[in-house]
Amino acid sequence: MDQTSSWSPEIDPALGAVVLTGDQIATRVTELGAQITHDYGGQAPLLVCVLKGAFMFAADLARAIDLPVEVDFMAVSSYGSATKTSGVVRIVKDLDADLTDRHVVIVEDIIDSGLTLSYLRKNLASRNPASLEVCALLVREGSTERPELRYTGFTIPDDFVLGYGLDINERYRNLNELRVYCDPGAGGSSSSRR
Protein backbone atom coordinates (compact mmCIF):
# COMPACT_ATOMS: atom_id res chain seq x y z
CA MET A 1 0.00 0.00 0.00
CA ASP A 2 1.45 3.39 -0.94
CA GLN A 3 1.68 6.24 1.54
CA THR A 4 -0.97 8.44 -0.09
CA SER A 5 -3.67 5.78 0.17
CA SER A 6 -3.00 5.24 3.88
CA TRP A 7 -3.25 8.90 4.89
CA SER A 8 -5.76 9.74 7.59
CA PRO A 9 -6.63 13.11 9.17
CA GLU A 10 -6.64 11.35 12.53
CA ILE A 11 -2.90 10.61 12.38
CA ASP A 12 -1.68 13.69 10.49
CA PRO A 13 0.50 15.74 12.89
CA ALA A 14 -0.56 19.00 11.17
CA LEU A 15 -4.21 18.48 12.07
CA GLY A 16 -5.49 19.26 15.54
CA ALA A 17 -8.92 19.34 17.11
CA VAL A 18 -12.10 19.39 15.06
CA VAL A 19 -13.64 22.87 15.24
CA LEU A 20 -16.73 22.12 13.12
CA THR A 21 -17.92 18.78 11.81
CA GLY A 22 -19.06 18.25 8.25
CA ASP A 23 -22.63 17.82 9.52
CA GLN A 24 -22.54 21.12 11.43
CA ILE A 25 -21.28 22.93 8.35
CA ALA A 26 -23.86 21.31 6.05
CA THR A 27 -26.72 22.22 8.38
CA ARG A 28 -25.65 25.85 8.64
CA VAL A 29 -25.09 26.19 4.88
CA THR A 30 -28.63 24.90 4.30
CA GLU A 31 -29.95 27.51 6.74
CA LEU A 32 -27.99 30.30 5.04
CA GLY A 33 -29.32 29.17 1.65
CA ALA A 34 -32.89 29.31 2.94
CA GLN A 35 -32.32 32.80 4.38
CA ILE A 36 -30.88 34.09 1.09
CA THR A 37 -33.75 32.46 -0.84
CA HIS A 38 -36.22 34.29 1.37
CA ASP A 39 -34.41 37.64 1.19
CA TYR A 40 -33.95 37.61 -2.59
CA GLY A 41 -37.23 35.93 -3.51
CA GLY A 42 -38.05 36.55 -7.16
CA GLN A 43 -34.56 37.86 -7.95
CA ALA A 44 -31.43 36.10 -9.11
CA PRO A 45 -28.49 37.15 -6.94
CA LEU A 46 -24.96 36.96 -8.25
CA LEU A 47 -22.69 35.07 -5.85
CA VAL A 48 -19.12 36.35 -5.99
CA CYS A 49 -16.96 33.52 -4.70
CA VAL A 50 -13.65 34.68 -3.28
CA LEU A 51 -11.07 32.12 -4.37
CA LYS A 52 -9.64 29.86 -3.35
CA GLY A 53 -10.82 29.35 0.20
CA ALA A 54 -14.55 29.89 -0.39
CA PHE A 55 -14.99 27.57 -3.38
CA MET A 56 -16.50 24.63 -1.44
CA PHE A 57 -18.71 26.92 0.61
CA ALA A 58 -19.90 28.79 -2.50
CA ALA A 59 -20.72 25.55 -4.32
CA ASP A 60 -22.75 24.18 -1.42
CA LEU A 61 -24.40 27.55 -0.77
CA ALA A 62 -25.44 27.92 -4.42
CA ARG A 63 -27.12 24.49 -4.27
CA ALA A 64 -28.91 25.49 -1.05
CA ILE A 65 -30.44 28.63 -2.62
CA ASP A 66 -33.77 27.95 -4.31
CA LEU A 67 -33.36 30.70 -6.92
CA PRO A 68 -31.67 30.85 -10.33
CA VAL A 69 -28.38 32.18 -8.89
CA GLU A 70 -25.37 33.06 -10.95
CA VAL A 71 -21.80 32.56 -9.74
CA ASP A 72 -18.62 34.40 -10.62
CA PHE A 73 -15.14 34.15 -9.16
CA MET A 74 -12.61 36.61 -7.87
CA ALA A 75 -9.18 35.83 -6.45
CA VAL A 76 -7.46 38.19 -4.07
CA SER A 77 -4.34 37.71 -2.04
CA SER A 78 -3.10 39.07 1.25
CA TYR A 79 -1.37 35.91 2.47
CA GLY A 80 0.82 34.24 -0.12
CA SER A 81 2.01 31.04 1.56
CA ALA A 82 2.09 32.56 5.06
CA THR A 83 -0.27 32.05 7.99
CA LYS A 84 -0.39 35.80 8.69
CA THR A 85 -1.70 38.47 6.34
CA SER A 86 0.82 40.73 4.65
CA GLY A 87 -1.53 43.69 5.02
CA VAL A 88 -1.54 44.31 1.26
CA VAL A 89 -4.52 43.12 -0.79
CA ARG A 90 -4.20 42.57 -4.51
CA ILE A 91 -6.58 41.20 -7.14
CA VAL A 92 -5.19 38.04 -8.72
CA LYS A 93 -8.29 37.25 -10.84
CA ASP A 94 -11.07 39.71 -11.51
CA LEU A 95 -14.75 39.05 -12.23
CA ASP A 96 -16.08 38.35 -15.69
CA ALA A 97 -19.59 39.68 -14.89
CA ASP A 98 -20.76 43.27 -15.09
CA LEU A 99 -22.17 44.17 -11.65
CA THR A 100 -24.27 47.13 -12.80
CA ASP A 101 -27.75 46.90 -11.24
CA ARG A 102 -27.08 43.36 -10.00
CA HIS A 103 -27.85 42.03 -6.52
CA VAL A 104 -24.42 40.83 -5.42
CA VAL A 105 -23.51 38.56 -2.50
CA ILE A 106 -19.80 38.26 -1.71
CA VAL A 107 -19.13 34.70 -0.53
CA GLU A 108 -16.13 34.61 1.82
CA ASP A 109 -14.52 31.75 3.70
CA ILE A 110 -13.29 33.53 6.83
CA ILE A 111 -13.18 37.06 8.21
CA ASP A 112 -10.24 37.91 10.45
CA SER A 113 -8.81 41.43 10.23
CA GLY A 114 -11.51 42.57 7.80
CA LEU A 115 -8.83 44.02 5.52
CA THR A 116 -9.63 41.87 2.49
CA LEU A 117 -13.38 42.28 2.90
CA SER A 118 -13.10 46.06 3.26
CA TYR A 119 -11.07 46.21 0.06
CA LEU A 120 -13.53 43.96 -1.78
CA ARG A 121 -16.56 45.93 -0.67
CA LYS A 122 -15.10 49.23 -1.85
CA ASN A 123 -13.93 47.73 -5.13
CA LEU A 124 -17.23 46.01 -5.94
CA ALA A 125 -19.41 48.91 -4.72
CA SER A 126 -17.65 51.14 -7.27
CA ARG A 127 -19.09 48.88 -10.01
CA ASN A 128 -22.67 50.09 -9.33
CA PRO A 129 -24.47 46.97 -8.09
CA ALA A 130 -28.12 47.32 -7.06
CA SER A 131 -27.16 45.83 -3.69
CA LEU A 132 -24.03 44.38 -2.11
CA GLU A 133 -24.08 41.96 0.82
CA VAL A 134 -21.64 39.50 2.36
CA CYS A 135 -22.06 35.86 3.32
CA ALA A 136 -19.11 34.62 5.37
CA LEU A 137 -18.84 31.05 6.57
CA LEU A 138 -16.53 31.95 9.46
CA VAL A 139 -15.80 34.99 11.59
CA ARG A 140 -12.86 34.75 13.96
CA GLU A 141 -13.39 35.73 17.60
CA GLY A 142 -11.56 38.92 18.41
CA SER A 143 -11.47 40.10 14.81
CA THR A 144 -9.71 43.45 14.83
CA GLU A 145 -12.50 44.95 12.76
CA ARG A 146 -16.06 43.65 12.96
CA PRO A 147 -17.48 44.31 9.51
CA GLU A 148 -21.23 44.36 9.07
CA LEU A 149 -22.20 40.99 7.65
CA ARG A 150 -25.71 40.12 6.55
CA TYR A 151 -25.07 36.38 6.54
CA THR A 152 -22.69 34.60 8.92
CA GLY A 153 -22.15 30.90 9.41
CA PHE A 154 -20.07 30.52 12.57
CA THR A 155 -17.87 32.46 14.98
CA ILE A 156 -14.73 30.45 15.71
CA PRO A 157 -11.80 30.74 18.14
CA ASP A 158 -8.60 32.54 17.16
CA ASP A 159 -6.89 29.50 15.64
CA PHE A 160 -5.56 28.94 12.13
CA VAL A 161 -8.02 26.43 10.69
CA LEU A 162 -7.97 24.04 7.74
CA GLY A 163 -10.53 22.14 5.74
CA TYR A 164 -13.72 22.84 3.80
CA GLY A 165 -11.74 24.90 1.30
CA LEU A 166 -9.25 26.47 3.72
CA ASP A 167 -5.61 25.48 3.35
CA ILE A 168 -2.00 25.71 4.34
CA ASN A 169 0.29 25.74 1.30
CA GLU A 170 -2.65 24.51 -0.84
CA ARG A 171 -3.16 21.37 1.30
CA TYR A 172 -6.15 20.13 3.31
CA ARG A 173 -8.84 22.01 1.34
CA ASN A 174 -10.58 18.66 0.71
CA LEU A 175 -11.41 17.91 4.36
CA ASN A 176 -15.18 18.02 4.89
CA GLU A 177 -14.69 19.32 8.43
CA LEU A 178 -12.83 22.26 9.92
CA ARG A 179 -9.75 21.49 12.02
CA VAL A 180 -7.09 23.44 13.89
CA TYR A 181 -3.71 23.59 12.16
CA CYS A 182 -0.85 22.42 14.36
CA ASP A 183 2.43 23.60 12.88
CA PRO A 184 4.66 20.55 13.40
CA GLY A 185 7.74 22.80 13.24
CA ALA A 186 6.46 25.28 15.85
CA GLY A 187 5.12 22.85 18.44
CA GLY A 188 1.66 24.47 18.51
CA SER A 189 -1.12 25.99 16.50
CA SER A 190 -0.62 28.93 14.19
CA SER A 191 -3.10 31.76 14.07
CA SER A 192 -4.39 34.56 11.88
CA ARG A 193 -6.03 34.47 8.52
CA ARG A 194 -8.10 37.08 6.71
DSSP state of 66: -
Residue 112 annotated among the catalytic residues of the structure: yes
Q: Say whether 110 sits in a helix, a strand or coil.
A: strand
DSSP state of 61: H
Q: Active site residue: 12, 23, 96, 112, which one?
A: 112
Angle, helices 22-39 vs 55-64, to 10°: value is 50
Q: What are phi and psi of 150, to 5 degrees?
A: -75, -35
- Closest alpha carbon to 103 in 70, 151, 75, 126: 70
Residue type, 86: S
- Closest alpha carbon to 142 in 159, 167, 162, 163: 159
CA distance 48 to 105: 6
Residues marked as catalytic: 112
